[in-house]
Structure 1
Amino acid sequence: MNILFRRHADGIARALRRRGVNNETAADLTQDTFARVLARPPLAATQNHNPQGYLYQAARNICINHQRREALIETVGLDDEEAINLADPSPSPERIVHSRQSLMRTYQALGELPERTRQAFEMHRLGERTIAEIAEELGISNTRAWSLVREAYKHLIGRVDIS
Structure 2
Amino acid sequence: MRRFFSVRTGRRGEVEDLMQDLYLKVQRVEGEVIENPSAYLYRLASNLLLDQLRSQRRAEARDAAWRRVSHTSLGGSDIADTPDAEAAVCARLRLKRLTEALADLPLKTRRVFWLHKFGELTHAQTAEQLGISRSAVEKHISRALKHLIARVGR
TM-score normalised by structure 1 residue count: 0.47
Compare CA radii of gyration and give the structure with the larger one: 2
Structure with more relative contact order (C-alpha pairs < 8 Å, separation 6 or more): 1
TM-score normalised by structure 2 residue count: 0.50
